[in-house]
Chain A
Amino acid sequence: MSAAPRTLAAVEPAPREELVQLCAFQVGGEEYVLDIMRIREILAPQRITPVPHAPPFVVGVINLRGAIIPVVDLRERLGVPVTAPTRRTRLLIALIGTRKVALVVDAVTEVVRIPRAEIKPAPALLNAGGPKFFVGVCGQRERLKLLLNVRALLDSSVKVPGAELRALATAQASNEEGETP
């Protein structure tokens, strides 16, 4: 298949050659990315006040300069072991619309700057039959990173596809990387 024809959309998303910046982070040994424009702050872990009867992945709230923000442990949400905080553990303060959510991650790794066109669709295996938690994949063969749909992660009580499924899917995507599109 030849290169995708260039079309102008009615409402303008970033043109496919435009560089996007993605903040990459690690959860349970795998790498994910979020749009860097969504990340307001990156904090060292701080005291989290638990709230009774919250769903398992909402570990509580923090007080961020006066605002009370719910904290989602991405390790719990993605079904990976929650290890004790290390020096690399961070709280990502993510914006969804005007609301903030704090996400606990094992480490923040880098900012990836790539043309939007280099983002490939997520393997269908990952999103089968449920909300689209992973909206794409980027990166080199050995270091594929999944694009997270943070809103789906927070809205849904559907379990996120587990680690084995993700490993299988990224292996599959990794193989496809080597093929000509």
Chain B
Amino acid sequence: MREAPADPLDAFFYRPDEDPGEIPDINADAQPIPVPEESPRELLSFELAGEEYAVDIHRIREIVKVPPITEVPRAPVDVLGVMSLRGEVIPVFDLRRRLGLPPADDEPSKRARVLVIDAGEGTSGVLVDRVAQVVRLKPSSIEATPQGLGPGVQPEYLAGIGRVKNRMYILLDIRATLANAGKVRA
């Protein structure tokens, strides 16, 4: 075998000063988190497809039990239908589809709720499996979403990962998540 000046095998062997390539340091502020340093954030945690997520509580106008949702023919893929909120007809978005999660296989359970949110284009609802509780997070317990997750992740949907005691919450920027909802038809 010939000796090349730089043995390609060298990259195989670990060196502390090696270039990590596309995996940035998870603990650095890869994404600036717009959180005022002083006050803790209040978030509402909810369950979706077995995982706990959390959104800023001030984005949520109301939480209602799941009303009859009228399906709309030829609606965009991420719309479950429309519901009546005291006479106002608002769309209900499928948060699982927005997040690339598997679709729900059952009817909503008794614990499911609709979060009524004022997003950019007016009021809308998102269906979640269960609302858990209000969580107060100090800005210091919020970490940037690991970017080593690769090109598929929509970083703008995720506002980071929050930790309280032993629980991890995936923080959603609900406005960003719904920003283009209802645009793509099946």
**A residues adjacent to B (C-beta < 8 A):** 1, 4-5, 7, 9-10, 13-14, 20, 34-35, 37-38, 49-56, 58, 61, 63, 67-70, 95-101, 116, 119, 121, 132, 135-136, 147-149, 151, 154-155, 157, 181
Contact = CB atoms under 8 A, between A and B. Distances in A.
20 contacts: A9-B7, A49-B51, A49-B161, A49-B168, A52-B170, A53-B153, A54-B153, A61-B146, A67-B27, A70-B23, A96-B21, A97-B17, A97-B18, A98-B25, A99-B148, A135-B11, A136-B9, A147-B9, A154-B23, A154-B150
Contacts of A68: 26, 143, 146, 161, 168
Contact of A4 (B2, B154, B163): B2
Contacts of B151: 55, 157
Contacts of B27: 67
Given A4-B1, A61-B146, A68-B146, A53 B25 contact: no
B13 A61 contact: no
A142 B141 CA distance: 50
A52 B100 contact: yes
B123 to A, nearest CB: 24
A96 B13 contact: no
**Which 10 residue pairs of A and B lie closest in terms of their CB atoms, listed nearest first?**
A97-B20, A52-B99, A37-B14, A38-B14, A55-B150, A55-B152, A70-B148, A54-B149, A99-B23, A155-B22
Given A9-B7, A53-B157, A154-B21, A58 B150 contact: yes
Interface string B25-65: 11100000000000000000000000100000000000000
A68 B170 CA distance: 12
Q: What is the interface of chain B mostly: helix, strand, loop, or mixed?
A: loop
B153 A51 contact: yes
Interface of B: 1-3, 5, 7-14, 16-27, 51, 99-101, 143, 145-146, 148-154, 157-158, 161, 163, 168, 170
Given A35-B14, A135-B9, A151 B20 contact: yes
A31 B26 CA distance: 30
Contacts of A14: 13
B152 to A, nearest CB: 4
Given A67-B26, A68-B26, A97-B20, A51 B149 contact: yes
Contact of A63 (B7, B25, B163): B163
Nearest to A61: B146
A70 B51 CA distance: 16
Given A68-B143, A135-B8, A52 B101 contact: yes
A69 B163 CA distance: 14
Contact of B21 (A50, A63, A136, A155): A155
B18 to A, nearest CB: 5
B158 A52 contact: yes
B100 A53 contact: yes
Nearest to B12: A135
A98 B148 CA distance: 13
Contact of A99 (B8, B20, B145): B20
B11 to A, nearest CB: 7
B150 A181 contact: no
